[in-house]
Structures are given as structure tokens and as C-alpha cells.
Structure 1
Amino acid sequence: MVLSHLIIVINYIDKNWITKPRGSVEYRNGLNRFLDFAFANSSSDGMIHCPCPLCGFRFFQTREDAYDHLLMKPFPPNYTFWLHHGERIVDERPSGREELEPTINSGDQIRDMVHDAFNFPGLQSDDEDSMNGHVEDVAEGLPYISDEPSRETRAFHDLLEDGEQELYPGCSKFSKLSFLVRLYHIKCMCGVSDKAFGLILELLGDAFEHAVIPKTLHDAKRIIKKLGIEYKKIDACPNDCMLYRGSDQDLSRCKQCGASRWKQKTRKNSIIRINAIVKKNGKPLPAKILRYFPLIPRLQRLFMSSKTLVDMLWHKRGTNSDGFLRHPRDGEGWKAFDMRYTNFSGDPRSVRLALASDGFNPYGNLSSKYSIWPVILIPYNLPPWICMKQSNFILSMIIPGPKMPGNDIDIYLQPLIDELKQLWAGVDTYDASEKKTFKMRAALMWTIRDFPGLGNLSGWNTYGGRACPTCNLDAETRRLTFSQKWCYMGHRRFLNRDHRYRQDRSRFDGKVEDRSPPTKLTGRDVLRQLDGVPVSQGKVQAVGSKRRRGQQTVMQDESP
């Protein structure tokens, strides 16, 4: 061990202010000195890792936000060596390097990201230049890649090479991959359009001729795409009747309504109207596409990375000393589920999921024919400070388009339902801490949605006289005379039996309320109500315009 030969060499900074009251002048002056030092030595895009208990060195904050956080919350009392904010260690050994950085450099971070993306724990190499000579050996050690050169093997090989290639000769701060990832992150965070980003790449390529920068947006996406998990494109019936998957993958017409699977256009300037299939590069274009983000590989990725694995186990290791409800794990629902399914709860790596749903238009134009109706899966094993930022851990998303009716969402939920069934049985997953695979299980326990979203997900009618899912068929409604809107009565039945409002006639509807609350239905009761209800998938096609006299319609052969 060489730790005895290492000492901290920086200009001495008084850190006694850390233990002072946060309202004192000493604490405020010391906090400003800390921020001056941190932003001078370790800032990134004008932000630093915030050390407050809420951020926990995980999130970047501006100077103003970090100052406010550390005034409201105490500065970590044990953080006296500012490892994450620029303090350096000097090696006093005669033959050693003069100065060592305690933080991991950008090249190491990029390699770690590549290793996590391909389920490979990483390399322990003393020589930075030795990586180039062992890329092929690393690729052969991937746990789930076959011996033959596969697409995954080539992608891993390319990413390692891009991660080691200097941005330009002599550049030690950025590699080709790290610079591109950083640039693309700015594009996503600031909402830069694809056209603007392409022009920026073109400008950078012209200005810095020796830098290895992609020339077009397509080239940049082709590199970054290898790091992430792709979504699946599944053709759908334009009338929302079915998905072309499984045994129906090769069909060209819907089994329910007979509509064509392919996009069509009408040839003009002809007495005979011909609906011809629209093709691109010789392939027919589908009339409607479901973009589905698979759930299983994204859950597996959280356990394959040593950084996110710690957060996935927080619900078991984190403490709650005051007994207040601060996380779903403190609720009765979580505890009752654990008692009922002991095989599931016995492994702390089992995942509890919440399904969030809402509708929004991504283009800001209500007249657009395309829309997004996302169904999002969120893991609630995570700590509360991460759960609050749900957008950081979106695991699955369903994006159908063009616009679809809400009552046919069950068609688009089929891929997700299939994955949830697999996860309940267990899926082989690599554990980065134990360096071995285990059976990962997951269960959907909660839904987060507004009232219209309830109708889309459950099929319950959220308008009219039977809109209340709690009262069910026992709802008491009245149609208002002038506005013609539905009014729901009978709320006094939820009060205690001896409540004075139950006997009050004048302030309510002129009646004494002596009824009990509606009976709470079980899942079996609801299924019994749905038994025998006719269900037809898809939407009714709109009646087309009138055909002109003498015009005929001929359907062209739709075989690709």
C-alpha cells in the first residue's frame, strides 16, 4: 500500500466553518470560499456536484442553487477533503508521478459507460495505451455475445475505439466519443432542433479540420445509438384493431376490419381511382406504427451498472427513523404485498413498478395529426430524491401515432403486458456487485393518472351518469335542467351515522340520508360485471366523401 506516501498539497483553506450554525457569518463566508474553490477547479457548464443531503453529490447545480441548498441543509460534516470539487493528491514517491487526479478522467468514464452498456464490468489496466491492443480480447469476453462476430461485438469494438481516439492530435481532455456525448447532451437539455444541431456539427467540422467530429446528425446518431437501448417499431392497423406481431407479423390486411396495413395514396388525373401503396427504397410504408420502448432490457441495465444498482437496493438498506410515510415502501400496500408474496419480497432486487399515463401533443399544435400518448413505467425501488425526478428513470414508453382513440389503448398495451408476465416469472439478469446472474422479478403495483387516463387504462366510462368508479352502479346522479350537465348526489352517505348533516333537509335535497356508503367491490366482482360484455377492437371508419359520377375504385395488389 502506498497511501502512507500520499499527502494533500493545496493552499490551506480553513474548514472549521462547516460545524458553525448555518445562519452565522462564519458559515456564510466559508460557504462562499468553498463555492469559489469548487467553481474554479471542478465546474462543468457552470455547475458543480451539490454536496447537500438532498442532492448527495449526484446532481449538478448552479452556484446560486448550491448556495441556497447548503443554507437550507447542513454541509456534510465529514466532507473535509473536497475530493469531488478539485482538491488534489500529490505522490511523494521518488519514482512516481508528480500529481495524481483523485477523480476519474473523462476517458475512464466513457469506458465505464461502454462496459455498463454491454454488460461488461470493465478493465483494470495500468497502461492507458494498452487498451487499443486488447479490444478484440475484450469483445470476446462479453457475457451474452456469441463467438461469431455479431452486431453487438462490432458495436462494442467501435465504441471502445471511439472512446480512445483523441478528438484532435494532442487533446487529452476529450475523446471522440466523450465530446460527442457531451455535445448531444447539450442538444437534449436545451431542446436544440435536429436541423440546428446538424448545422453546428457542419460548422465545427469546417472550423476544426483536424478534429474527428461527425459531419452530419445521422453520423452522430449512428455512434451514440450504440450506447443506448433502441425502441421497437411494430406496425398497427390504422383503425386500431390489431398489431402485426407474433403469428400476424406477415399479414398485409387487418383480420378485424380488412384495412390495408400499408400507407396508400390516390393517383390523380384519372377516371379510375387507384389506391397505390406508398413505398420508400422499394419497401411499403406502414399506415400506422407503434413505437415501443422495451421494459426488460432497461430494468436489466439498472442492475448491470454498479452506480444504479446501489439505488435499486435503497428501499431495503435505507432507514426511516421517524416512522413517517416518506416512500412507498413505508405504506401499507407495500407491506401487505410483501406478506402475501414472500417469494417475491424475499429478494430485495425484486422491482416494484408504477405506471404513469397522460396525453400530450409534442408539437404544440393541436391541429397536428400526430400525437404521443405515453405509458411510462417507473421503478419505485429508488430513493425518494430520485423518484421525485421521474423523467430520469423512464423505463418503458408506448408512442402510437397518428392520433388514436383512447378506448383502444389495450391494443397498444399488449407488448407491455407480455413483458410484465415474463418479469413476474423471472428474467436472467447480471448483478454488477455479485458478478453473477440472478432471476429478476418485477410487479406492477401502482398507477399514476388523471381521471381521463383512468378511462383509457381501465375501460371505465369516465363521463355520464355512471362515471364514478367508487360508487359503481350505486351512483346517484341528476341532470341539471339548464346546463344539461351531470350532478352527483348522495355524498352524505359517507358521513358517520350520527352526523348532523344526515338529518339536514333544508341545506341539501330535502331528504334525510340514512343509507350506508357504497359497497367496495373486489377484483372478482368487477370481473363478474365485465363477464359477457361485448368487446370490439378498433374504431368505426368514417364515411368517405361521395364518389363522382362515372368514377370507379380499383385496389392495387398490396403484396410487397
Structure 2
Amino acid sequence: MYFDGAAHRGGAGVVFVTSQGEVLPYSFTLMQLCSNNIAEYQPLILGLEMVVEMKRLQLQVFSDSQLAVNQLLDVLPFASVRVISPHRFCVYEWSYRDKIKCPFPKCGFGKWQRRGIVLDHFICKTFPQNYATWVLHGEINVLQNSGNVEVTQDAPPPENPIELLINEAFRGIGHEGVDVGPSQVVEEEEILNDIPASNNKDFFELLRDGSQELYEGPKHSKLEFLLKLYHIKFLLGLSDKGMTMILDLLRDAFNFAKIPDSFYEAKNTINKLCLDYVKIDACPNDCMLYWEGDANEKTCKYCHTSRWKLNEKRNNNQVSTIGKRKEKNKKKEKKPAKILRYFPLKPRLQRLFMCSKTCEHMRWHVEDNSKDGIMRHPRDSEAWKRFDTIFLEFSSDPRNVRLGLASDGFNPFGTMSTNYSIWPVVLVPYNLPSWLCMKQPNFILSMIIPGPRTAGNNINVYLQPLIKELNELWYEGVETFDSSKNETFRMQAALMWTVSDFPGLDILSSWNTHTGFACPSCNFDTEPCRLRHSRKWYFTGHRRFLSRNHKFRLIRHRFYGNVEEKIPPRKLSGSDILQQVKELDVTFGRPAALNDRRKRNRQRNVGQSATLQWRKKSIFFDLPYWEFNLLRHNLDVMHIEKNVVDKLNILC
């Protein structure tokens, strides 16, 4: 689209467009139209008339001046004239997915911006005086060659998925985001002004790897190749050493390709996408974490066990002889005995709003009006609605995230004889619709609690980093960029409840499910019974949950020979539970392993006994809202059914 620079400097401009959107290669200014010497522009007017007659199209004229319109009605009777700013014409008529290339130096005359941002730039910023030909906004380019007019269409903005991934990883860092691709003409210094200095190097290195071809002519860039190779590694469970050997083979076979020297180098490149995690050393007996004030400790404060792995092959006699030779080499790096891998929550929640496809779904639980009285989503539950009524400030913004926590132990070695239990902790964002929130790509891995033994009652120790970050998200929040509204807001988050199987309920809620008072709903209001020979617990009294006039309450011969007259137990609130656990004083950790391997009675942790139901005060009560949650722990029925079927298969 050709456009005279006088229009940008305060003059009125005119743009000629056919009814099919074709921009014609003619341009006038208001001064030209109002000049007395109109005859010199007569060939242009005749040319316009011939084009319109030959193509049998209706000509539309866009101008921002009524005076120019009146003049055009006299000289162009065959055209329909609309009064509209040519600036707005370009923004509204030649946008791609609601974006055009912004014609300002800061945007590099090529950065795709939303229409509102471009119009703000017209108002707030000075337009370049030497910009006279408007040809960089996705409009039709007119190329004149040998008297013929050739009309071509600019390509739309790039749709490289790697480029979009980089933009989403670094978006929200500046005020207007970083929406830059390698195909766009942007000065590096101007982008650096919008990105914190700590991320400058990572951003441009990723941008370079994302645009750098693996070798001449392939369809994959270097970064795309590394990401797909990294994906294959985890799908097949390949080791780091095996990946390094594969990279060595590929580099030898294709010496012209830009392949990293080792898997360590490849992993460092991928970690710049903010997909990394934090390693926190832990006591091998689950007593404490070496973090915050204890980050520099060498031994456990409670059991005095070393933080580092010891060489078990040595005995006391070998230490005296071999140890002297090792004294000189103490600079060798020590390996921690146990490591908690924690994935920070804040950047992962921010990423939900960086993706334009997911951002709008995060408000679905409020904006969707399809409510038919059936609980199809947690938002339809009584617990959700009560949380909204208690915490009005939190519920006032639908973008605040509501999370559910799920965890369970499993053996990573499958059916092998190795006894090993590892506990991943997964968070589920319930803001998403019911058909999205339970999909695997939307799960957020929070931490991996290491084995080989189950954390059990000591899970409070490992949940400390998560609880701390949840408290920060509740009290302070975090500045987050909303890509759907193109604005920054303070995002908060709250943990609504946990989800687990029945043994997992014991660990997460701290209620002992291995005694006669195993039911957490009945609490102490139950009568435990044991089988005569196997001494296993069984439970009766289910008829108390029926209505008072139900006929089953009076039947004796089918229900243990008695009439049920009890009423259902009272539901305990969070305050009631806090009253029951306030006197508990539990020291976390396990007793040190003994050298004597003879069979002995099972040892219990400090503070535990056969009749003690509450093992500890749950760490979830450190959250300010947990006491007021109507529903704190959920049972995964499908998970329990699977456990039962697995046991039956083993017995059969």
C-alpha cells in the first residue's frame, strides 16, 4: 500500500481500494486534490477509471478529511467514498489474527502487534518523518515492471512452533511481552530494554538456536532437534551416558551438522526454556532438608547422620590404611545421600497465562454459564462455593488459580524384586474446563520425593518448599502476564484439597488408617471390631447413615443381630481437628539402621503408639485457608478399585 508521508505529518491522505480488497497504486494528498492545477493528475484519474471499468469493480476511497471527500466526489463520480483514517484502515483492514506489523522504530517496522497497541503507538509516540511509503504491514505489494502491474501478497507472520515456544517462555518479562521471531527485523538493543539483564543472554541464545539450521536444507532447527531428542530419551528411559554416545555417533556420521558435544551441553540449552528444577539435599533418614538456614550443614541436626554418601565397601580396618591416601584428595565432589527434586510452582502457573490458547480457559469456571444442577466440575461442588463466600477477595478475580494435590508411591523398577518407593506430587489446575483439567499435559509436577523407603509420616519434611510457595502465592501473589487481555495482573493461588487412595490418605491427612478407627469421617465415633482368628479389623454400623425411618434399621437377622439406632457421626471442621492435634509433639525421621539383621519387632517412631490416631499435625494446616476448607481430602475411587483388583490377581 503506497501512502504519502504528508498524511503522517498532519496532512490528509487518500487510499484507493477495490471491493475485493485490492489496493491500487495511486495516492493523493489533500493539497494535491485541492490545488488549482488538477489537470496534471488527470492521467491518474483516468487510469483509475479504466481499471475500475475493466475489472467491473466498485472503487472505495478511504480518507480522513471531509474536504478531501468533497473534492473526490467531483473528480471521481464512479467511486464510493468513506471517511476513515488511513491509519485505522491499515489496522483494521490488513490485520492477520488481529495483529499488524507496527511501523515504529522500537518495533523494528516488523514486530507483529495487536491493533490496540499499534493505535496507542500512533497517539503516544512520534511517527518517523522519513517514513513515506507504507509497505511493511502485510498489505498487497504493488510491483511495476515494464508497464505491467503485478500484485503480490506478503506472507503471514511465522508459525514456527519453536519460535512460539521461545516467545511464550519469555513473555510477560517486559511490559508488552517479547513477541519476536528470527524472521522479524528488530534491533537487539531495543529488545534488551524490555527484558531483565539476567535473561538477555538466554533469550538471544535460544532465538539463535531456534533459527539456526541443523545443517543446510533440513526442516528442523538445532533447538527443535534437541527437544525431540530429549523427548525420545524420556519416553524410552535412556540414560545420560547413552544419550551422549548417540550424540557422538551422530556427530561423527554427520560432521557438517551442528550437534552438541555432549548431552550435558544439550540439557543446558533446553534448561534455558525455564524447564529446570531445584535440587534440595535431604537427610537419608527423612529428618530434615538442607535448605534455607540449614543449606550449609554437613550432618543432620536430629540423627547426626552424614549428608553425603559413604563408601559402604570400606570397613573399619580399611579406613585406617586407605583413608591416609585419600586425605590429600578431599577436594573431590561429594554426592548427597538423598535429593529432593522440586519444581518451582510460580513460573509454571505463569506459563498457563502466557499461552494464548490456555489463558482464556483459565476463566472458564466463572464465564461458562452452563449450570444444570449436576456436579460436572469441582466448581459445582459445595466446597468450591463455600470457599468463594469466605474468601471474597480471592474469588473476585477468576484468574486466581485453584489447585488440587495428588500423590502416590510407586516402584520405578516395575515388577522387579527391588523394593523401592518413590512419591511424585502432582498439582491439578481446576480453573480449566472438565475436559481439560484432568488431561496429562495440564498436570503440574511439583516434586519427586526420593526413595528407597516411603516417606510415610515424614512427608511433612518434603512438602515444606511447596507449602512455603503456596503461602507466598496466597499473601503476595506474583505478577503475571495475561496474553488474552494483553495486561499484567497479580495472580494468587490456593490449594483446595488432596486426592489419594486410602493408604495415601493416612500419609497426607495424618489420620492412622491401620487401626480400628480407620474411618476418617467417623473419627472416634465408631465401635472397632476384629475377626476372631485373623485378628483383622472389620467395620459395621453402616446403617446409621440411612434415614431414621428406613426399614433396614429394624432388620436384625441380616445385620449382626441388632437394631441400628445411632445417628450419623458429626462432620469435623478444620477447627475441630486442630483441637485434637494441638497437643501432639512429633519428631520426624527414622531410627538409624542397626547392623544386627536378625528378625525383631517393628520399631515405631517417637510419639507413636498402638492407640494413637493422629500421627502428627498435617503441614497443610500451615496454609491460612486450610482450616476453613469444607473438603480437605478426597479418595480416588478408581485408584482404590485398581488396588483391589491387583491384589485379587495376585491371590488367584
Q: Is TM (by shorter chain) over 0.5?
A: yes
Aligned equivalent of 1:130, options 171, 185, 188: 185
Shift of 1:449: 0.6
Q: Does 1:437 align with 2:492?
A: no
Q: Does 1:201 align with 2:235?
A: no
Could you say what secondary structure the match of 2:528 adopts? strand
Could you say what secondary structure the match of 1:397 adopts? strand
Residue identity opposite 1:250 in structure 2: N
Gaps of at least 5 residues in structure 2 are: 2-16, 24-137, 144-149, 598-652
Number of aligned residues: 454
Q: Is the 8 A contact 1:405 1:539 kept in 2?
A: no
Q: Does 1:456 align with 2:456?
A: no
Shift of 1:321: 5.4
Could you say what secondary structure the match of 1:283 adopts? coil
Q: Does 1:409 align with 2:459?
A: yes
* Map of 1:10 onto structure 2: none
Q: Deviations over 1:370-396 (max 9, x none)?
A: 542012111111122211214533152
Could you say what secondary structure the match of 1:354 adopts? strand
* Map of 1:4 onto structure 2: 21
Q: Deviations over 1:1-46 (max 9, x none)?
A: 898249xxxxxxxxxxxxxxxxxxxxxxxxxxxxxxxxxxxxxxxx
Q: Deviations over 1:151-182 (max 9, x none)?
A: x33222211111121222344x3321123223
Gaps of at least 5 residues in structure 1 are: 7-88, 547-560
Q: Is the 8 A contact 2:482 2:489 kept in 1?
A: no
Counting only pairs closer than 5 Å after superposition, residues 207-222 of structure 1 correspond to structure 2 as 207-222=253-268
Q: Does 1:139 align with 2:195?
A: no
Q: Deviations over 1:388-438 (max 9, x none)?
A: 214533152232234243111111111111111111113232223344432
Q: Is the 8 A contact 1:295 1:396 kept in 2?
A: yes
* Map of 1:250 onto structure 2: 296
Q: Matches of 2:533 and 2:441 in 1, distance apart? A: 44
Shift of 1:305: 3.4
* Map of 1:293 onto structure 2: 343
User: After the TM superposition, which of the residue ranges 444-453 and 329-338 deviates more from structure 2?
Assistant: 329-338
Q: Matches of 2:331 and 2:188 in 1, distance apart? A: 36
The 1:217/1:435 distance shift into structure 2, 3 A limit, reads same
Q: Does 1:494 align with 2:545?
A: yes
* Map of 2:269 onto structure 1: 223
Aligned equivalent of 1:164, options 208, 211, 214: 211
* Map of 2:177 onto structure 1: 121
Q: Is the 8 A contact 1:328 1:334 kept in 2?
A: yes
Counting only pairs closer than 5 Å after superposition, residues 517-528 of structure 1 correspond to structure 2 as 517-528=568-579
Q: Is the 8 A contact 1:427 1:441 kept in 2?
A: yes
Q: TM-score, normalised by structure 1?
A: 0.73
Shift of 1:297: 1.9
Q: Is the 8 A contact 2:251 2:259 kept in 1?
A: yes
Shift of 1:363: 2.4
User: After the TM superposition, which of the residue ranges 415-424 and 428-437 deviates more from structure 2?
Assistant: 428-437
Residue identity opposite 1:167 in structure 2: L
Q: Deviations over 1:239-260 (max 9, x none)?
A: 1111112222222222212222
Aligned equivalent of 1:537, options 588, 593, 599: 588
Counting only pairs closer than 5 Å after superposition, residues 122-521 of structure 1 correspond to structure 2 as 122-123=178-179, 128=183, 130=185, 134-142=187-195, 145-146=196-197, 150=198, 152-171=199-218, 173-189=219-235, 191=237, 194=240, 197-266=243-312, 268=314, 271=317, 282-320=332-370, 322-364=372-414, 367-368=417-418, 371-433=421-483, 434-521=485-572
Larger Rg: 2
Q: Is the 8 A contact 1:5 1:91 kept in 2?
A: yes
Residue identity opposite 1:454 in structure 2: L
The 1:121/1:509 distance shift into structure 2, 3 A limit, reads same
Shift of 1:465: 0.8
Could you say what secondary structure the match of 2:311 adopts? strand
Percent of residue pairs bearing the same amino acid type: 49
Q: Is the 8 A contact 2:169 2:274 kept in 1?
A: no
What do you get for the CA RMSD once the two structures are aligned? 3.2
Could you say what secondary structure the match of 2:543 adopts? helix
Q: Deviations over 1:268-324 (max 9, x none)?
A: 476375697999962322222111111122112222333332222222233315443
Q: TM-score, normalised by structure 2?
A: 0.63
Shift of 1:348: 1.3
The 1:124/1:455 distance shift into structure 2, 3 A limit, reads closer
Could you say what secondary structure the match of 2:539 adopts? strand
User: After the TM superposition, which of the residue ranges 311-320 and 380-389 deviates more from structure 2?
Assistant: 311-320
Residue identity opposite 2:524 in structure 1: L
Could you say what secondary structure the match of 2:255 adopts? coil
Query: Which has the bigger relative contact order, CA under 8 A and spacing at least 6?
Result: 1
